[in-house]
Protein backbone atom coordinates (compact mmCIF):
# COMPACT_ATOMS: atom_id res chain seq x y z
CA UNK A 1 0.00 0.00 0.00
CA UNK A 2 1.24 3.45 -0.73
CA UNK A 3 0.79 6.05 1.94
CA UNK A 4 -0.20 9.41 0.55
CA UNK A 5 2.54 11.80 1.45
CA UNK A 6 1.24 15.29 1.02
CA UNK A 7 3.85 17.58 2.45
CA UNK A 8 1.44 20.35 3.29
CA UNK A 9 -0.48 19.97 6.48
CA UNK A 10 -3.66 21.34 7.94
CA UNK A 11 -6.00 20.23 10.67
CA UNK A 12 -6.60 16.50 10.84
CA UNK A 13 -10.26 17.00 10.17
CA UNK A 14 -11.55 20.50 9.88
CA UNK A 15 -15.36 20.56 9.86
CA UNK A 16 -15.29 23.58 7.55
CA UNK A 17 -13.95 21.43 4.73
CA UNK A 18 -16.25 18.51 5.38
CA UNK A 19 -18.89 19.50 2.83
CA UNK A 20 -17.70 18.65 -0.64
CA UNK A 21 -16.73 21.74 -2.56
CA UNK A 22 -17.37 21.55 -6.30
CA UNK A 23 -13.66 21.72 -7.00
CA UNK A 24 -13.02 18.22 -5.62
CA UNK A 25 -15.11 16.58 -8.33
CA UNK A 26 -13.37 14.93 -11.22
CA UNK A 27 -14.77 16.87 -14.13
CA UNK A 28 -15.12 15.41 -17.61
CA UNK A 29 -16.24 18.12 -19.94
CA UNK A 30 -19.42 19.35 -18.33
CA UNK A 31 -19.89 16.22 -16.19
CA UNK A 32 -18.69 15.43 -12.71
CA UNK A 33 -18.41 11.96 -11.24
CA UNK A 34 -20.29 10.81 -8.14
CA UNK A 35 -19.32 7.61 -6.36
CA UNK A 36 -20.72 5.64 -3.45
CA UNK A 37 -18.83 2.64 -2.08
CA UNK A 38 -19.86 -0.71 -0.72
CA UNK A 39 -17.18 -2.71 1.05
CA UNK A 40 -17.46 -6.29 2.23
CA UNK A 41 -14.96 -7.19 4.93
CA UNK A 42 -14.56 -10.64 6.45
CA UNK A 43 -14.37 -10.48 10.22
CA UNK A 44 -11.45 -12.13 12.00
CA UNK A 45 -13.51 -14.34 14.31
CA UNK A 46 -12.65 -17.90 15.23
CA UNK A 47 -15.99 -19.37 14.19
CA UNK A 48 -18.50 -18.67 11.44
CA UNK A 49 -21.43 -16.26 11.76
CA UNK A 50 -24.20 -18.68 12.70
CA UNK A 51 -22.49 -22.01 13.49
CA UNK A 52 -19.40 -23.34 15.25
CA UNK A 53 -17.40 -24.18 12.12
CA UNK A 54 -13.94 -22.59 11.98
CA UNK A 55 -13.87 -19.39 9.95
CA UNK A 56 -10.19 -19.98 9.13
CA UNK A 57 -10.85 -21.76 5.85
CA UNK A 58 -7.98 -20.55 3.63
CA UNK A 59 -6.18 -23.52 2.13
CA UNK A 60 -8.45 -26.16 3.74
CA UNK A 61 -9.75 -29.08 1.62
CA UNK A 62 -13.11 -28.23 -0.03
CA UNK A 63 -16.19 -28.55 2.20
CA UNK A 64 -14.16 -29.55 5.26
CA UNK A 65 -15.41 -26.55 7.27
CA UNK A 66 -19.12 -27.27 7.08
CA UNK A 67 -22.01 -28.41 9.27
CA UNK A 68 -25.79 -28.73 8.93
CA UNK A 69 -26.23 -24.98 9.68
CA UNK A 70 -23.89 -23.59 7.02
CA UNK A 71 -24.93 -26.33 4.57
CA UNK A 72 -28.51 -25.09 4.93
CA UNK A 73 -30.00 -28.41 6.06
CA UNK A 74 -33.70 -28.29 6.92
CA UNK A 75 -34.30 -27.74 10.61
CA UNK A 76 -30.78 -26.54 11.45
CA UNK A 77 -30.92 -23.44 13.62
CA UNK A 78 -28.52 -20.48 13.35
CA UNK A 79 -27.12 -18.74 16.44
CA UNK A 80 -25.52 -15.29 16.03
CA UNK A 81 -21.79 -15.06 16.74
CA UNK A 82 -21.27 -12.61 19.62
CA UNK A 83 -17.64 -11.84 18.65
CA UNK A 84 -18.79 -10.84 15.15
CA UNK A 85 -21.47 -8.54 16.59
CA UNK A 86 -18.87 -6.94 18.87
CA UNK A 87 -16.39 -6.50 16.00
CA UNK A 88 -19.09 -4.73 13.98
CA UNK A 89 -20.04 -2.44 16.87
CA UNK A 90 -16.34 -1.68 17.39
CA UNK A 91 -16.03 -0.78 13.72
CA UNK A 92 -19.18 1.34 13.91
CA UNK A 93 -17.73 3.30 16.83
CA UNK A 94 -14.44 3.88 14.97
CA UNK A 95 -16.46 5.06 11.94
CA UNK A 96 -18.32 7.57 14.13
CA UNK A 97 -21.60 5.70 13.68
CA UNK A 98 -24.65 5.57 15.88
CA UNK A 99 -25.16 2.04 17.20
CA UNK A 100 -28.73 0.83 16.84
CA UNK A 101 -30.58 -0.24 19.98
CA UNK A 102 -32.20 -3.00 18.00
CA UNK A 103 -30.76 -4.71 14.95
CA UNK A 104 -32.68 -7.35 13.03
CA UNK A 105 -31.35 -10.11 10.81
CA UNK A 106 -33.29 -10.65 7.60
CA UNK A 107 -33.40 -13.21 4.85
CA UNK A 108 -32.19 -11.97 1.49
CA UNK A 109 -33.42 -14.49 -1.05
CA UNK A 110 -31.50 -15.44 -4.10
CA UNK A 111 -30.66 -18.66 -5.78
CA UNK A 112 -27.10 -19.61 -6.46
CA UNK A 113 -25.45 -22.91 -5.58
CA UNK A 114 -22.97 -21.04 -3.35
CA UNK A 115 -25.85 -20.33 -0.97
CA UNK A 116 -27.45 -23.68 -0.23
CA UNK A 117 -30.17 -22.18 1.99
CA UNK A 118 -31.50 -20.16 -0.94
CA UNK A 119 -31.02 -16.99 1.07
CA UNK A 120 -28.31 -15.01 2.80
CA UNK A 121 -28.85 -13.91 6.37
CA UNK A 122 -28.14 -10.19 6.41
CA UNK A 123 -29.41 -7.00 8.01
CA UNK A 124 -31.75 -4.88 5.99
CA UNK A 125 -34.10 -2.33 7.51
CA UNK A 126 -32.47 -2.37 10.93
CA UNK A 127 -28.68 -2.53 10.60
CA UNK A 128 -26.29 -2.43 13.55
CA UNK A 129 -24.45 0.82 12.71
CA UNK A 130 -25.75 4.02 11.09
CA UNK A 131 -24.76 7.53 10.03
CA UNK A 132 -21.00 7.71 10.52
CA UNK A 133 -18.09 9.24 8.63
CA UNK A 134 -14.45 8.75 7.73
CA UNK A 135 -12.11 11.69 7.14
CA UNK A 136 -9.81 11.46 4.12
CA UNK A 137 -6.90 13.73 3.26
CA UNK A 138 -7.15 15.90 0.17
CA UNK A 139 -4.13 16.74 -2.02
CA UNK A 140 -4.36 20.42 -0.97
CA UNK A 141 -3.68 19.42 2.64
CA UNK A 142 -7.28 19.75 3.77
CA UNK A 143 -9.58 16.90 4.65
CA UNK A 144 -13.05 15.75 3.70
CA UNK A 145 -15.61 13.56 5.36
CA UNK A 146 -17.03 10.58 3.51
CA UNK A 147 -20.30 9.78 5.23
CA UNK A 148 -21.04 6.18 6.19
CA UNK A 149 -24.68 5.32 5.61
CA UNK A 150 -24.57 2.01 7.42
CA UNK A 151 -22.42 -0.90 8.51
CA UNK A 152 -24.18 -4.21 8.94
CA UNK A 153 -23.47 -7.83 9.57
CA UNK A 154 -24.14 -10.76 7.25
CA UNK A 155 -22.63 -14.04 6.13
CA UNK A 156 -20.30 -14.79 3.25
CA UNK A 157 -21.27 -17.21 0.49
CA UNK A 158 -19.47 -20.32 -0.73
CA UNK A 159 -17.29 -20.45 -3.80
CA UNK A 160 -18.18 -21.88 -7.19
CA UNK A 161 -15.55 -23.03 -9.68
CA UNK A 162 -16.45 -23.94 -13.24
CA UNK A 163 -14.49 -26.84 -14.77
CA UNK A 164 -15.22 -28.65 -18.06
CA UNK A 165 -18.92 -27.90 -18.06
CA UNK A 166 -19.31 -28.74 -14.36
CA UNK A 167 -19.72 -26.39 -11.45
CA UNK A 168 -17.87 -27.31 -8.28
CA UNK A 169 -19.05 -25.80 -5.03
CA UNK A 170 -16.89 -25.30 -1.94
CA UNK A 171 -18.88 -24.21 1.09
CA UNK A 172 -15.96 -23.57 3.47
CA UNK A 173 -16.50 -19.83 3.06
CA UNK A 174 -20.30 -20.07 3.39
CA UNK A 175 -21.31 -18.53 6.68
CA UNK A 176 -18.04 -16.69 7.40
CA UNK A 177 -18.94 -13.40 9.17
CA UNK A 178 -19.02 -10.55 6.72
CA UNK A 179 -19.40 -6.87 7.48
CA UNK A 180 -20.87 -4.64 4.81
CA UNK A 181 -19.98 -0.95 4.95
CA UNK A 182 -21.93 1.43 2.72
CA UNK A 183 -21.04 5.08 2.12
CA UNK A 184 -23.16 7.95 0.92
CA UNK A 185 -22.36 9.16 -2.60
CA UNK A 186 -19.70 11.56 -1.27
CA UNK A 187 -16.72 10.35 -3.25
CA UNK A 188 -15.93 12.74 -6.08
CA UNK A 189 -12.97 11.24 -7.92
CA UNK A 190 -11.01 8.01 -8.42
CA UNK A 191 -8.30 9.36 -6.09
CA UNK A 192 -10.79 10.09 -3.34
CA UNK A 193 -12.08 6.53 -3.65
CA UNK A 194 -8.51 5.28 -3.30
CA UNK A 195 -7.89 7.50 -0.28
CA UNK A 196 -11.14 6.36 1.35
CA UNK A 197 -10.40 2.67 0.91
CA UNK A 198 -6.84 3.04 2.14
CA UNK A 199 -8.08 4.84 5.22
CA UNK A 200 -10.82 2.30 5.83
CA UNK A 201 -8.39 -0.61 5.56
CA UNK A 202 -5.99 1.11 7.97
CA UNK A 203 -8.85 1.51 10.45
CA UNK A 204 -10.01 -2.11 10.14
CA UNK A 205 -6.44 -3.31 10.73
CA UNK A 206 -6.00 -1.03 13.75
CA UNK A 207 -9.20 -2.50 15.18
CA UNK A 208 -8.02 -6.02 14.44
CA UNK A 209 -11.40 -6.89 12.92
CA UNK A 210 -10.23 -7.57 9.35
CA UNK A 211 -6.91 -8.56 7.77
CA UNK A 212 -7.27 -6.16 4.85
CA UNK A 213 -5.75 -8.83 2.61
CA UNK A 214 -7.39 -8.00 -0.70
CA UNK A 215 -5.67 -10.78 -2.64
CA UNK A 216 -7.25 -13.34 -0.32
CA UNK A 217 -10.67 -11.78 -0.77
CA UNK A 218 -10.85 -10.60 2.85
CA UNK A 219 -11.95 -7.18 1.62
CA UNK A 220 -13.99 -6.63 -1.56
CA UNK A 221 -15.04 -3.29 -3.02
CA UNK A 222 -18.03 -2.33 -5.11
CA UNK A 223 -18.19 1.28 -6.23
CA UNK A 224 -21.41 2.65 -7.71
CA UNK A 225 -20.64 5.30 -10.23
CA UNK A 226 -22.70 7.99 -11.94
CA UNK A 227 -22.06 11.28 -13.64
CA UNK A 228 -24.08 14.48 -13.59
CA UNK A 229 -23.95 18.10 -14.65
CA UNK A 230 -23.41 20.91 -12.13
CA UNK A 231 -27.03 21.96 -12.79
CA UNK A 232 -28.20 18.51 -11.66
CA UNK A 233 -26.12 18.85 -8.51
CA UNK A 234 -27.76 22.20 -7.77
CA UNK A 235 -31.17 20.55 -8.08
CA UNK A 236 -29.98 17.71 -5.83
CA UNK A 237 -30.27 15.17 -8.65
CA UNK A 238 -28.07 12.21 -9.48
CA UNK A 239 -27.37 10.42 -12.74
CA UNK A 240 -28.16 6.74 -13.31
CA UNK A 241 -25.61 4.67 -11.43
CA UNK A 242 -23.64 1.65 -12.51
CA UNK A 243 -22.26 -0.75 -9.95
CA UNK A 244 -18.90 -2.44 -10.51
CA UNK A 245 -18.86 -5.71 -8.58
CA UNK A 246 -16.20 -7.47 -6.54
CA UNK A 247 -13.06 -5.45 -7.16
CA UNK A 248 -10.12 -6.87 -5.26
CA UNK A 249 -7.55 -4.13 -5.43
CA UNK A 250 -7.71 -0.41 -4.73
CA UNK A 251 -5.93 0.22 -7.99
CA UNK A 252 -8.69 -1.60 -9.88
CA UNK A 253 -11.27 0.53 -8.07
CA UNK A 254 -9.49 3.69 -9.11
CA UNK A 255 -9.17 2.58 -12.72
CA UNK A 256 -12.74 1.27 -12.92
CA UNK A 257 -14.17 4.57 -11.68
CA UNK A 258 -12.08 6.58 -14.13
CA UNK A 259 -13.09 4.31 -17.00
CA UNK A 260 -16.78 4.18 -16.12
CA UNK A 261 -17.06 7.96 -15.62
CA UNK A 262 -15.55 8.49 -19.03
CA UNK A 263 -17.85 5.92 -20.63
CA UNK A 264 -20.99 7.42 -19.10
CA UNK A 265 -20.04 10.99 -19.99
CA UNK A 266 -19.50 9.86 -23.57
CA UNK A 267 -22.92 8.19 -23.76
CA UNK A 268 -24.64 11.32 -22.46
CA UNK A 269 -22.64 13.55 -24.78
CA UNK A 270 -23.89 11.49 -27.73
CA UNK A 271 -27.48 11.94 -26.56
CA UNK A 272 -27.82 8.42 -25.14
CA UNK A 273 -28.92 7.18 -21.74
CA UNK A 274 -26.90 5.32 -19.13
CA UNK A 275 -28.46 1.99 -18.18
CA UNK A 276 -28.62 0.89 -14.57
CA UNK A 277 -26.58 -2.33 -14.63
CA UNK A 278 -23.96 -4.32 -12.77
CA UNK A 279 -20.57 -4.45 -14.38
CA UNK A 280 -17.43 -6.46 -13.81
CA UNK A 281 -13.88 -5.22 -14.26
CA UNK A 282 -11.72 -6.66 -17.02
CA UNK A 283 -8.27 -6.18 -15.55
CA UNK A 284 -6.45 -7.21 -18.69
CA UNK A 285 -8.21 -4.77 -20.97
CA UNK A 286 -8.79 -2.15 -18.28
CA UNK A 287 -12.49 -1.80 -19.01
CA UNK A 288 -15.84 -2.55 -17.40
CA UNK A 289 -17.95 -5.38 -18.84
CA UNK A 290 -21.68 -5.99 -18.50
CA UNK A 291 -22.60 -8.66 -15.94
CA UNK A 292 -26.33 -8.64 -15.47
CA UNK A 293 -29.06 -6.10 -15.14
CA UNK A 294 -29.41 -4.84 -11.61
CA UNK A 295 -31.89 -6.58 -9.36
CA UNK A 296 -33.98 -4.35 -7.15
CA UNK A 297 -34.61 -4.85 -3.44
CA UNK A 298 -37.97 -6.45 -4.30
CA UNK A 299 -36.24 -9.26 -6.14
CA UNK A 300 -34.56 -10.27 -2.89
CA UNK A 301 -37.91 -10.50 -1.03
CA UNK A 302 -36.33 -9.49 2.26
CA UNK A 303 -38.15 -10.50 5.42
CA UNK A 304 -37.07 -10.76 9.08
CA UNK A 305 -35.20 -13.99 9.82
CA UNK A 306 -37.63 -15.94 12.02
CA UNK A 307 -34.94 -18.17 13.55
CA UNK A 308 -32.91 -15.35 15.15
CA UNK A 309 -34.44 -12.96 17.69
CA UNK A 310 -33.82 -9.22 17.26
CA UNK A 311 -30.46 -8.14 18.60
CA UNK A 312 -30.73 -5.75 21.55
CA UNK A 313 -27.69 -3.56 22.07
CA UNK A 314 -27.66 -1.87 25.44
CA UNK A 315 -25.55 1.12 26.40
CA UNK A 316 -23.25 -0.64 28.91
CA UNK A 317 -22.29 -3.16 26.22
CA UNK A 318 -21.43 -0.33 23.80
CA UNK A 319 -19.39 1.41 26.51
CA UNK A 320 -17.49 -1.78 27.24
CA UNK A 321 -16.64 -2.15 23.55
CA UNK A 322 -15.71 1.53 23.26
CA UNK A 323 -13.20 1.00 26.06
CA UNK A 324 -11.37 -1.54 23.88
CA UNK A 325 -10.83 0.91 20.98
CA UNK A 326 -7.13 1.53 20.33
CA UNK A 327 -5.78 4.99 19.59
CA UNK A 328 -6.80 5.52 15.95
CA UNK A 329 -4.45 6.66 13.17
CA UNK A 330 -5.58 10.31 12.93
CA UNK A 331 -5.20 10.82 16.68
CA UNK A 332 -1.84 9.07 16.62
CA UNK A 333 -0.59 11.19 13.76
CA UNK A 334 -1.64 14.39 15.52
CA UNK A 335 0.11 13.23 18.71
CA UNK A 336 3.34 12.43 16.88
CA UNK A 337 3.33 15.90 15.36
CA UNK A 338 2.30 17.84 18.44
CA UNK A 339 4.09 15.98 21.22
CA UNK A 340 7.12 14.63 19.42
CA UNK A 341 7.57 17.33 16.78
CA UNK A 342 7.45 14.94 13.86
CA UNK A 343 7.03 16.21 10.34
CA UNK A 344 3.65 15.45 8.77
CA UNK A 345 5.05 13.16 6.06
CA UNK A 346 6.79 10.79 8.49
CA UNK A 347 3.92 10.90 11.00
CA UNK A 348 1.59 9.84 8.19
CA UNK A 349 3.70 6.91 7.03
CA UNK A 350 4.38 5.68 10.56
CA UNK A 351 0.66 5.63 11.42
CA UNK A 352 -0.46 3.99 8.18
CA UNK A 353 -0.06 0.54 9.74
CA UNK A 354 -0.57 -0.18 13.42
CA UNK A 355 2.39 -2.56 13.51
CA UNK A 356 4.67 0.19 12.20
CA UNK A 357 3.31 2.64 14.78
CA UNK A 358 3.82 0.06 17.53
CA UNK A 359 7.43 -0.48 16.44
CA UNK A 360 8.09 3.26 16.30
CA UNK A 361 6.58 3.90 19.72
CA UNK A 362 8.58 1.10 21.34
CA UNK A 363 11.74 2.53 19.76
CA UNK A 364 10.90 6.03 21.03
CA UNK A 365 10.31 4.63 24.51
CA UNK A 366 13.82 3.16 24.44
CA UNK A 367 15.56 6.11 22.76
CA UNK A 368 13.86 9.07 24.42
CA UNK A 369 11.62 11.97 23.48
CA UNK A 370 14.14 14.80 23.79
CA UNK A 371 13.88 17.35 21.01
CA UNK A 372 14.75 15.91 17.62
CA UNK A 373 15.11 12.33 18.82
CA UNK A 374 11.73 10.94 17.68
CA UNK A 375 12.22 12.61 14.29
CA UNK A 376 15.68 11.04 14.00
CA UNK A 377 14.17 7.62 14.70
CA UNK A 378 11.38 8.33 12.22
CA UNK A 379 13.97 9.14 9.54
CA UNK A 380 15.83 5.89 10.15
CA UNK A 381 12.64 3.81 10.08
CA UNK A 382 11.02 5.38 7.03
CA UNK A 383 14.36 5.68 5.24
CA UNK A 384 16.94 2.94 5.80
CA UNK A 385 14.75 0.37 7.52
CA UNK A 386 11.91 0.52 4.98
CA UNK A 387 14.46 0.35 2.16
CA UNK A 388 15.81 -2.87 3.66
CA UNK A 389 12.29 -4.27 4.18
CA UNK A 390 11.39 -3.56 0.55
CA UNK A 391 14.60 -5.15 -0.65
CA UNK A 392 14.37 -8.30 1.44
CA UNK A 393 10.63 -8.80 1.94
CA UNK A 394 7.83 -9.83 -0.33
CA UNK A 395 6.54 -6.63 -1.89
CA UNK A 396 6.05 -3.47 0.06
CA UNK A 397 3.85 -4.61 2.92
CA UNK A 398 5.09 -2.52 5.85
CA UNK A 399 3.47 -4.90 8.33
CA UNK A 400 6.56 -7.09 7.82
CA UNK A 401 8.25 -4.84 10.37
CA UNK A 402 6.62 -6.87 13.15
CA UNK A 403 8.31 -10.06 11.95
CA UNK A 404 11.94 -9.01 11.59
CA UNK A 405 14.51 -10.32 14.10
CA UNK A 406 15.58 -6.79 15.10
CA UNK A 407 13.65 -5.37 18.05
CA UNK A 408 12.76 -1.67 18.37
CA UNK A 409 15.02 -1.31 21.44
CA UNK A 410 17.97 -2.45 19.33
CA UNK A 411 17.35 0.30 16.79
CA UNK A 412 17.45 2.76 19.69
CA UNK A 413 20.79 1.23 20.78
CA UNK A 414 22.16 1.70 17.27
CA UNK A 415 21.27 5.40 17.18
CA UNK A 416 22.84 5.83 20.59
CA UNK A 417 26.11 4.42 19.21
CA UNK A 418 25.97 7.12 16.53
CA UNK A 419 25.13 9.83 19.07
CA UNK A 420 28.04 8.75 21.26
CA UNK A 421 30.34 8.82 18.22
CA UNK A 422 31.21 5.14 18.57
CA UNK A 423 30.32 4.64 14.89
CA UNK A 424 29.61 7.07 12.08
CA UNK A 425 26.21 7.20 10.31
CA UNK A 426 27.46 5.33 7.25
CA UNK A 427 28.74 2.47 9.35
CA UNK A 428 25.42 2.48 11.21
CA UNK A 429 23.64 1.71 7.93
CA UNK A 430 25.81 -1.37 7.46
CA UNK A 431 25.23 -2.47 11.05
CA UNK A 432 21.47 -1.98 10.62
CA UNK A 433 21.45 -4.28 7.62
CA UNK A 434 22.97 -7.08 9.71
CA UNK A 435 20.67 -6.36 12.65
CA UNK A 436 17.58 -6.65 10.45
CA UNK A 437 18.83 -10.00 9.16
CA UNK A 438 20.11 -11.55 12.39
CA UNK A 439 18.66 -9.65 15.35
CA UNK A 440 22.13 -9.24 16.90
CA UNK A 441 22.86 -6.29 19.18
CA UNK A 442 24.59 -3.38 17.41
CA UNK A 443 27.41 -3.25 19.97
CA UNK A 444 28.20 -6.92 19.29
CA UNK A 445 28.29 -6.35 15.52
CA UNK A 446 30.55 -3.31 15.90
CA UNK A 447 32.99 -5.34 18.02
CA UNK A 448 32.86 -8.46 15.84
CA UNK A 449 33.49 -6.52 12.62
CA UNK A 450 35.83 -3.94 14.12
CA UNK A 451 33.66 -1.07 12.98
CA UNK A 452 34.31 1.39 15.79
CA UNK A 453 34.97 4.87 14.51
CA UNK A 454 38.55 6.00 14.11
CA UNK A 455 38.93 9.22 16.11
CA UNK A 456 42.66 8.87 16.61
CA UNK A 457 44.24 11.97 14.99
CA UNK A 458 47.58 10.26 14.42
CA UNK A 459 45.88 7.48 12.47
CA UNK A 460 43.79 9.96 10.48
CA UNK A 461 46.81 12.18 9.73
CA UNK A 462 48.78 9.19 8.50
CA UNK A 463 45.95 8.32 6.11
CA UNK A 464 45.79 11.91 4.86
CA UNK A 465 49.54 12.00 4.19
CA UNK A 466 49.33 8.73 2.35
CA UNK A 467 46.43 9.97 0.16
CA UNK A 468 48.09 13.29 -0.69
CA UNK A 469 51.34 11.51 -1.57
CA UNK A 470 49.50 9.09 -3.84
CA UNK A 471 47.71 11.91 -5.79
CA UNK A 472 50.26 14.58 -6.63
CA UNK A 473 48.38 15.63 -9.77
CA UNK A 474 45.11 16.33 -7.90
CA UNK A 475 47.08 18.08 -5.20
CA UNK A 476 48.62 20.39 -7.79
CA UNK A 477 45.18 21.21 -9.22
CA UNK A 478 43.90 21.88 -5.73
CA UNK A 479 46.74 24.27 -5.11
CA UNK A 480 45.96 25.96 -8.42
CA UNK A 481 42.53 26.81 -7.00
CA UNK A 482 40.37 23.78 -7.81
CA UNK A 483 39.00 23.59 -4.26
CA UNK A 484 36.13 21.29 -5.14
CA UNK A 485 38.72 18.49 -5.07
CA UNK A 486 38.32 18.54 -1.29
CA UNK A 487 35.46 16.08 -1.75
CA UNK A 488 37.71 13.76 -3.75
CA UNK A 489 40.42 13.77 -1.08
CA UNK A 490 37.83 13.28 1.64
CA UNK A 491 36.49 10.19 -0.18
CA UNK A 492 40.01 8.78 -0.51
CA UNK A 493 40.75 9.34 3.18
CA UNK A 494 37.50 7.64 4.22
CA UNK A 495 38.34 4.73 1.94
CA UNK A 496 41.85 4.45 3.37
CA UNK A 497 40.28 4.14 6.82
CA UNK A 498 37.68 1.61 5.56
CA UNK A 499 34.84 4.11 6.05
CA UNK A 500 35.30 4.14 9.78
CA UNK A 501 36.85 7.59 10.27
CA UNK A 502 35.06 10.18 12.32
CA UNK A 503 33.96 12.21 9.27
CA UNK A 504 33.92 15.59 11.06
CA UNK A 505 37.40 15.13 12.44
CA UNK A 506 38.80 13.74 9.16
CA UNK A 507 37.43 16.69 7.20
CA UNK A 508 38.90 19.15 9.67
CA UNK A 509 42.39 17.57 9.61
CA UNK A 510 42.28 17.30 5.81
CA UNK A 511 41.38 20.97 5.39
CA UNK A 512 44.15 22.03 7.74
CA UNK A 513 46.66 19.86 5.92
CA UNK A 514 45.62 21.17 2.49
CA UNK A 515 45.83 24.76 3.66
CA UNK A 516 49.34 24.32 5.02
CA UNK A 517 50.33 22.42 1.86
CA UNK A 518 48.85 25.23 -0.26
CA UNK A 519 50.70 27.96 1.61
CA UNK A 520 53.92 26.03 1.67
CA UNK A 521 53.59 25.27 -2.05
ZN1 LIG B 1 -21.10 -24.66 9.89
MN1 LIG C 1 -23.76 -7.70 1.15
- Please give the distance, rounded to the nearest whole angstrom, from the Cα atom of residue 47 to the centre of ligand 1: 9
Q: Are strands 242-244 and 277-282 parallel, antiparallel or unpaired?
A: parallel
Ligand nearest to C-alpha 158: 1
- Please give the distance, rounded to the nearest whole angstrom, from the Cα atom of residue 40 to the centre of ligand 2: 7
Q: If you ran DSSP here, which 8-state letter would residue 291 be given?
A: E
Q: If you ran DSSP here, which 8-state letter would residue 47 be given?
A: B
E-only strand ranges, 286-332? 287-293, 303-304, 311-312
- Please give the distance, rounded to the nearest whole angstrom, from the Cα atom of residue 178 to the centre of ligand 1: 15
Q: Check residue 1 and give its pLDDT.
A: 38
Residue 150 and residue 127: Cα distance in Å, rounded? 7
Residue 21 and residue 310: Cα distance in Å, rounded? 41
Check: CB of residue 40 under 8 Å from CB of residue 220: yes
Cβ neighbours of residue 519 closer than 8 Å, sequence gap 6 or more: none
Ligand nearest to C-alpha 243: 2
Residue 276 and residue 226: Cα distance in Å, rounded? 10
Ligand nearest to C-alpha 179: 2
- Please give the distance, rounded to the nearest whole angstrom, from the Cα atom of residue 320 to the centre of ligand 2: 27
**pTM of structure:** 0.84
Residue 521 and residue 517: Cα distance in Å, rounded? 6
Name the nearest CA neighbour of 437 among 396, 361, 397, 385. Answer: 385
Instruction: Please state the φ and ψ torsions of residue 171, each to the nearest 5 degrees.
Output: -100, 15
Domains of the chain: residue spans and CATH: 30-52+77-159+176-321 (no CATH), 329-449 (no CATH), 457-520 (1.10.10.410)
Instruction: Count the neighbouring beta carbons within 10 Å of the beta carbon of residue 491.
Output: 11
What is the pLDDT tens value at each position of the chain, 521 positions in all?
344 433 333 333 333 344 444 445 566 778 999 999 999 999 999 999 999 999 999 999 999 999 999 999 999 999 999 999 999 999 999 999 999 999 999 999 988 889 999 999 999 999 999 999 999 999 888 899 999 999 999 999 999 999 999 999 999 999 999 999 999 999 999 999 999 999 999 999 999 999 999 989 999 999 999 999 999 999 999 999 999 998 989 999 999 999 999 999 999 988 999 999 999 999 999 999 998 765 666 788 999 999 999 999 999 999 999 999 999 999 999 999 999 999 999 999 999 999 999 999 999 999 999 999 999 999 999 999 999 998 876 667 899 999 999 999 999 999 999 999 899 899 999 999 999 999 999 999 999 988 888 888 888 999 999 999 999 999 999 989 998 999 999 999 999 988 888 888 899 999 998 887 655 54
- Please give the distance, rounded to the nearest whole angstrom, from the Cα atom of residue 41 to the centre of ligand 2: 10
- Please give the distance, rounded to the nearest whole angstrom, from the Cα atom of residue 374 to the centre of ligand 2: 43
- Please give the distance, rounded to the nearest whole angstrom, from the Cα atom of residue 167 to the centre of ligand 1: 21
* Length of the chain measured in residues: 521
Ligand nearest to C-alpha 66: 1
Q: Check residue 390 and give its pLDDT.
A: 87
- Please give the distance, rounded to the nearest whole angstrom, from the Cα atom of residue 311 to the centre of ligand 1: 21
Q: Check residue 132 and give its pLDDT.
A: 98
Check: CB of residue 107 under 8 Å from CB of residue 78: no
- Please give the distance, rounded to the nearest whole angstrom, from the Cα atom of residue 156 to the centre of ligand 2: 8
190 SS3 class: helix
- Please give the distance, rounded to the nearest whole angstrom, from the Cα atom of residue 55 to the centre of ligand 2: 18
Ligand nearest to C-alpha 181: 2
Q: Check residue 515 and give its pLDDT.
A: 82
Amino acid sequence: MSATSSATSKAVDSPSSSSSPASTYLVLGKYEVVVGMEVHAQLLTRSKMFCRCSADYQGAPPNSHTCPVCLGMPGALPVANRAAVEATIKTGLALNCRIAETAVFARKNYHYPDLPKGYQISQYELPLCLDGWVAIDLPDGGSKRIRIRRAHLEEDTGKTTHVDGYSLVDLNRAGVPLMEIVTEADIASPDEAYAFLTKLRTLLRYLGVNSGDMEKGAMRCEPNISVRTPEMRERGEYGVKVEVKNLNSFRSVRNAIAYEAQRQAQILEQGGQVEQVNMGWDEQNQRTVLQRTKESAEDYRYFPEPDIPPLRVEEPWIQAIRATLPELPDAKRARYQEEWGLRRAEAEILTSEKRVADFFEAAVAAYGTAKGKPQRLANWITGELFRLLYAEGQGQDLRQIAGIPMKPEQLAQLLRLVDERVINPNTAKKVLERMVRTGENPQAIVEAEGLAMVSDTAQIDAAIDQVLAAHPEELARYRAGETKLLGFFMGQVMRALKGKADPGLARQRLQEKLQSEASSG
